[in-house]
Structure 1
């Protein structure tokens, strides 16, 4: 029977069928993500680690005569031994030291205050009376700051070491997903982009650039941060400063701040050692900081980043701290990756809107 001429277009059978299909699709998608939302971070981290470990997996697979399952198992085992176990151990020790440091910080401040009180201020320095009154107050404020930092570190790192069934379940989901993500010939991100409706060329461009930016950001911040944190912690340990593991973690996190990095914590350590009369240790820590810790960045960054495109320092900074606040400890990795995807998508879309002539002019201006 022919369709009535006065029937509205939006009530046609085809429109109703498509509307019902979209509605069901949205409802099922929301239900699915609501069901697995507690495991999303584990799955995302597995996808990121799988992409970063893919070159290693391929080398292992070629050495095992193409056995994919065995190569993936060996890669997962290496990730456990070389990454997960050390991270959990360091996080546990750092959390314990941060807790102990927050309890003993008052004694440290009292020691610094007593030594500072014995220092004679030259007569030509103005406002000497005010400086005498402000000294203890400044020391107390520093104590409050360090205590707050220690407590924040305890609450953040304890997420990695909490002995609950949820932690072990998250770890199992991460390792299980990593095992299968490694064996996928097409990475997870490219499979997701297939549902966006973009052209295959645009999909490949976004996926390749996102991987490049994410890899450069992680290697340029996380790896260098770990190295600087370890070296700074060793310097604090040799100098006899309490809580070297905790301070090493702090220096690793602060290494993302351009121009400051671990130098701020190292400078405080040198000042503290000098204030309590350990002049030799202060000089040694200062030399170690200036010759090794703060210069290793200039050596490692060109080697690790290479030709990969790195994000601007401001984006790295805000995305790392933002990820740390939103996702916890895993935000140190997840935050910069999300920022890398953000930059990649918007850059690719803006380039796709340019004409060939405009694109060439823009490329010439940037070079």
Structure 2
């Protein structure tokens, strides 16, 4: 009888070489495929992350809308449109406010340099080191207004380059925002299927403990959203109180604008900082300095301390870990790091606790066995 062909191969190459070689080939192919996939989508990773975050946060509202609208595609489109409006309108309000304040500032500078204004504010001239040079410069410009034109001519290339760079950044961000909205639409429509497949894949890779990590990431994302909204409301209320104390017109409206801007990291200082500049250039020195101190010490403390504290309480995560996650995430990943940083550290904490739980099980084993044996006797 001739020996079996499989037996000859096992003798010639070894019984285990075939399976290991096959696994190595599959691993290399899978690694190459993942690398190519990353190179394809790397420019869209941030919009995709934002899409998943926004879809997760607004998913309950999407479910309600789908119960009201029978067509899933139409419900997803309406939900995406509503989300776009909720994001775009506050941004446009902030931009409009900044444009108006910039026009007022430039008009004041133009009137001052042309001699139409009575004089420079006293507080500006009394500043140490810079007050006297500012007064001399204003006097030179008043005597020879062409100095400003000559300076603008020499700085025109730099100004044009900066404007072009800013326009390019706006265009890139607008494109990323459009890609995020497009991804949100498909997540709204097919999110249940995608999430089921994703969780199934995690269970295949990590086993049952993947549910623990998934829950940790979901709870942290929800906590970050709660912290973001609550701290924005608190910042708007505190800033509105400051506007009312210094006598600003429409303090409630400006406070609401500050709250909307506070949804973006460092957005609130842009609003109350603009008001501070307005007060200073309007010769209201003490009001401007008071609002500056209130904004820096009071309003900003809400963003830097209260937000991590709210997230820590909501997600049952140590405060210091959340603080490092928020600040480190912003530094490493930009705006999306506000969510990504705490989520990464919360999953790491879940892995650590899971590992400690497993390490503790063997130490309890002998005691449990002894107790069981005693009970059987």
Length-normalised TM-score, structure 2:
0.59
Structure 2 residue matching 1:355: 3-state secondary structure: helix
Equivalent of 1:312 in 318, 322, 338:
322
How has the CA–CA distance of structure 1 residues 53 and 271 changed in structure 2, closer, same or farther, with 3 Å as cutoff? closer
CA distance in 2, matches of 1:87, 1:278: 29
Structure-to-structure mapping, 1:176-187, within 5 angstroms: 176-183=182-189, 184-185=191-192
Quote the Cα distance in structure 2 between the aligned partners of 1:73 and 1:264.
33
Q: Using the TM superposition, give the Cα deviation of residue 222 of structure 1 relative to its aligned residue in structure 2, in angstroms.
A: 6.0
Query: Which deviates further from its counterpart, 32-41 or 184-193?
Result: 184-193
**1:322 aligns with one of 312, 329, 332:** 332
RMSD: 5.5
Deviation string for 1:177-223 (max 9, x for gaps)?
21221242256497167247444532221112112112222331366
Matched, 1:74 2:74: no
Larger helix share, 1 or 2: 2
Q: 1:208 aligns with which of 211, 215, 225?
A: 215
- Please name the residue that 1:23 is paired with: 28
CA distance in 1, matches of 2:10, 2:18: 12
SS in 1 for 2:20: helix
Q: Structure 1 residues 302, 346: CA separation in 2 closer, same or farther (over 3 Å shift)?
A: closer
Per-residue CA deviations over 1:37-79 (Å, capped at 9, x if unaligned) read 2222222211111111101111222333x54333222211210
1:350 paired with 2:360, answer no
Gaps of at least 5 residues in structure 2 are 114-118, 134-161, 362-377
Distance 1:227 1:62, change over 3 A: farther
- Deviation string for 1:89-133 (max 9, x for gaps)? 24654775798799799899x9888525559xxxxxxxxxxxx54
Please report how far the alpha carbon of residue 28 of structure 1 lies from its aligned counterpart in structure 2 after TM superposition: 1.9
CA distance in 1, matches of 2:247, 2:75: 41
Residue 77 to residue 197, structure 1, CA distance change in 2 (3 Å) = same
* C-alpha spacing 1:103/1:19, structure 2 compared with 1 (3 Å): farther
Whichever of the two has the greater Rg, that structure is 2
Give the whole-Å Cα distance in 2 for the aligned partners of 1:250 and 1:71.
26
- Within the alignment, does 1:175 sit opposite 2:181 as a pair? yes
Q: Cα distance, 1:239 vs. partner?
A: 3.8
Q: After TM superposition, list the pairs within 5 Å mapping 1:5-84 onto structure 2.
A: 5=11, 7=13, 12-64=17-69, 67-83=71-87
Mapping of 1:1-367 within 5 angstroms?
1=5, 2-3=8-9, 5=11, 7=13, 12-64=17-69, 67-83=71-87, 85-90=88-93, 92-93=95-96, 114-115=122-123, 117-118=125-126, 132-133=128-129, 161-162=170-171, 167-168=174-175, 170-183=176-189, 184-185=191-192, 188=195, 191=198, 194-195=201-202, 197-221=204-228, 224-225=231-232, 228=235, 232=239, 235=243, 239=248, 252=262, 273=279, 277-278=283-284, 282=288, 307-309=314-316, 312-324=322-334, 331=335, 334-355=336-357
CA contact (8 A) 1:217 1:337 kept: yes
What is the distance in 2 between the residues matched to 1:264 and 1:13?
64
Aligned residues of 2:276 and 2:292 also touching (Cα < 8 A): yes
**What is the distance in 1 between the residues matched to 2:170 and 2:259?**
15
Contact between 2:235 and 2:299, CA under 8 Å: does it hold in 1? yes
1:194/1:203 contact within 8 Å kept: no
